[in-house]
Structure 1
Amino acid sequence: MTIQFVNTLIMVKDIEVSKKFYEQTIGIPVVQDYGACVIFEGHLALHGAREFRRLIGAPEGGTDEPQGSLNMDVYFETDDLAGTYERLCQAGVRLIHGIETQAWGQPVFRFYDPDGHVVEIGAPL
């Protein structure tokens, strides 16, 4: 039996707000939309926090607040880093920092999604 990676799933407060952010603001195409769960091209999936907590039998506490924390990073790459940076700044993303070259030589910028998850976009290595 072979096990294969399929998606990284992050919890979000409002699935429609987050779907719009990733699809329209960032520009990641939706592959499948199941209402409470949305899967994007590149194996990113969003799930409504309230619905997910029900699925696993957990208490609903905390589902009405943004779900992000500083313990993960949703990472993308683009060949047009400067253009993407300008477009997202004009769209009003909550910027963490502008384009900076990391210690390993890669230019990246970071911002928050609607739930406060850290999103990073970098130039390909």
Structure 2
Amino acid sequence: MKFLSPMIIVSNMEKSKQFYYEVLGLEVVVDFGANVTLTGGIALQTKDTWLAFIQKQDSEISFGGNVTELYFEEDDFDNFIKKINNIEGINYVHTMVEHSWGQRVIRFYDPDKHIIEVGENIIMVVKRFLNSGLSIEETAIRMDVSVDYVKSCLE
């Protein structure tokens, strides 16, 4: 058994492909029309085709349940925030927040209200703390991780 990829259902394939490219830089790897695979391994499936596959009615599908998300990490988080702030129509779950361990994240919806989270790459969090003057030990305490973990991020 091998897990291959997540698949999300979309109501408008072209709009979804454009969103994932414009906002996250994901490109189409394979396009079968009703099913598209993007870089990163995410598959998109049209709602109508999905309904036929699972033999359900339109009323049995709902978007925006807030129960799952697609998670991405970004090395250059500050530039990503600048970029997304310049894109009109982004529907935010929340604007940028910093978690207790120091990682900055932002969450927003795709066109079908699937949650997208973009987090600062954790190695970049370590480097940001060290560059701010914290020692390796202080960074470990700040992030609630071991000193060995902080050191492993620097290798």
Q: Same fold (TM over 0.5)?
A: yes
Give the letter for the 1:120 counterpart. Answer: E
Structure with greater Cα Rg: 2
Q: Identify the structure with the greater helix proportion.
A: 2
Query: Are residues 1:104 and 2:101 paired?
Result: yes
Q: Mapping of 1:38-53 within 5 angstroms?
A: 38-53=36-51
Task: Spell out the pairing of 1:1-125 with structure 2 (5 A cutoff).
Answer: 3-61=1-59, 67-92=63-88, 93-125=90-122
- Bigger share in strand: 1
Partners of 1:108 and 1:120 within 8 A in 2: yes
Does the CA-based 8 Å contact 1:49-1:67 persist in structure 2? Answer: no
- The runs of 5 or more residues in structure 1 that have no matched partner are none
TM-superposition CA deviations, 1:8-33 (whole Å, max 9, x none)? 00111111111110022321122111
Instruction: Give 2:73's aligned amino acid.
Output: E
> C-alpha deviations, 1:71-94, integer Å up to 9, x for none?
111111111111111111211211
Give the paired residue count. Answer: 121
Contact 1:12–1:68 (8 Å) recurs in 2:
no
CA distance in 1: counterparts of 2:100 and 2:50, whole angstroms: 37
Q: How far 1:103 moved relative to its partner?
A: 2.6
* Amino acid corresponding to residue 84 of structure 1 in structure 2: F
- Greater relative contact order (CA < 8 Å, ≥ 6 in sequence): 1
Q: For residue 138 of structure 2, what is the aligned residue in structure 1? A: none
Change (3 A) 1:62 1:19: farther
TM-score normalised according to structure 1 size:
0.87
* Matched residue SS, 1:61: helix
Instruction: Name structure 2 gaps, 5 residues minimum.
Output: 123-155
